[in-house]
Structure 1
Amino acid sequence: MTPYVLTVDAGVRDLRAADRLLHTLAGELALDEGAFGCTHLVWDDTPRVVVSLALPSEPLLRTAQERLTARGHQVSPGAPDAVGRAVLYPGVAELTGTLTVGDVLARSAIDCVTVLGSPIRPDPRARLVTRDHVRPQWQHGELVLTAMPAVGGTLVPFEVPAPTPCCADH
């Protein structure tokens, strides 16, 4: 990743709202394909989700800081941790429909795909049904997508697009 990173704390409490915030910020700041936008869970007195933006240049970083601060967002330098969940990253727009694992790696910034519970990486020809929702996570400096087995020998990203909230039936 780039050294031009900032964190935005907008008091967001859930991942879906943080995803929407990142997409809104990307549009407002006219971020190009080279930017990264990640979510980070904060577990202090006020649990929430903050977002980080990794930008390709210092001038863009300064512009983003100025605009976001002017909008009333709390902005701080750097990322809150090294394990952000990537929402915006190079190639994310290409990850729709069903692709092979090899296509995912070739078309995006994702460095590797792992399968939940398996020590072996999937075959590059394995089919991944993206559900148009691919959220890899930074692990040891690599962008890693965790997948799980699905119907018909396919894989799906571990994170589902519209999760059922805990205790939804209560």
Structure 2
Amino acid sequence: MTAATVIGVDAATTGLGDADHLARALAGELGLPETASVGTHAVRTGRPHLALTLTLPNAATADGVWRALTGRAAPEPVGLALGEWRHGPAELSEGAAHAVAERTERGAGRAVLFPGAGALTGTVGVAELLAASAVDEVTLLGAAGPPDGARRILTRDHLRPEWREGRLVLTVMEAAGGVLVPFEVPDPTPCCADH
């Protein structure tokens, strides 16, 4: 992956739910391939908010998506970044560039859409999840090691793994009945949703 295949999109989105909605809307509008991924990244300069990254399979696809994004009429100001290119208000395009840097380094951010995510619904085994998706690792909150590959994860149709030290990592926790659930819940309570 190079910066030439990662596009940053900063619409100054403030909530995780809103960022997830924007990620899905853009993926649908742009017709992103299943090999693409869309992530969220915290921007802490100015007013803290979230920016998106669109990670595309090759530079030609990224170029086409860039042209579509720069040519669309957005209801609110949007900043974009692709390599050295910037588009939109400076503060937002720099937020987009920050997101691109994080995604390119695979050091931070959370994945909303990623290869294999569509098939991970209902209850899946840890080993099955790892084999069928871009997730590199599953960690069990509070455990010294990873969960057994035969353990089952009740996905709640909401998996949001995070990039850490170059790996896409899904954190899970114990739930009733011996199943595991993702640490991030689909509908967080308002007091905790954006922390």
TM value normalised by structure 2: 0.81
User: C-alpha offsets along residues 33-92 of structure 1, whole Å, 9 cap, x if unaligned?
Assistant: 110100001111111110001101112211222222233521012614231100111110
2 CA distance for matches of 1:69 and 1:55? 16
Paired residues, what number?
A: 168
Cα distance between partner residues in 2 of 1:33 and 1:6 = 16
Tell me which residue corresponds to 2:54.
Answer: 53
Partner of 1:77: 82
Alpha-carbon deviations, 1:133-153, whole Å to 9, x = none? Answer: 000001111110000010011
The whole-number CA distance in structure 2 between the counterparts of 1:157 and 1:11 is 26
Structure 1: which amino acid aligns with 2:82?
Answer: P
Distance 1:29 1:104 in 2: 27
Please say if 1:164 is aligned against 2:165.
no
- Cα distance in 2 for partners of 1:98, 1:46 equals 38
| Residues 1:101 and 2:126 are matched in the alignment | yes
Question: Structure 1 length normalisation: TM-score?
Answer: 0.93
- 8 Å CA contact retained: 1:2, 1:54: no
Distance of aligned partners of 1:158 and 1:36 in 2 relative to their CA distance in 1, 3 Å threshold? same
Q: Does the CA contact (< 8 Å) of 1:2 and 1:56 recur in 2? A: no
1:146 corresponding residue in structure 2: 171
TM-fit CA distance, 1:28: 1.4
CA distance in 1, matches of 2:113, 2:127: 20
Q: Distance in 2 between matches of 1:152 and 1:21?
A: 34
Partner of 1:36: 37
Which runs of no fewer than 5 residues in structure 1 stay unpaired? none
- 2: distance between equivalents of 1:135 and 1:80? 20
* Structure with more helix by fraction: 2
Q: Hey, what's the Cα distance between the residues in 2 that align with 1:99 and 1:25?
A: 27
Q: 1:35 to 1:2 in 2, by over 3 A?
A: farther
Deviates more, 1:19-28 or 1:1-10: 1-10
Give me the whole-angstrom Cα distance separating, in 1, the residues matched to 2:188 and 2:123: 20
**Alignment match, 2:21:** 20
Equivalent residue number for residue 63 of structure 1: 64
Letter in 2 for 1:108: S
User: Structure 1 residue 25: deviation in Å?
Assistant: 1.0
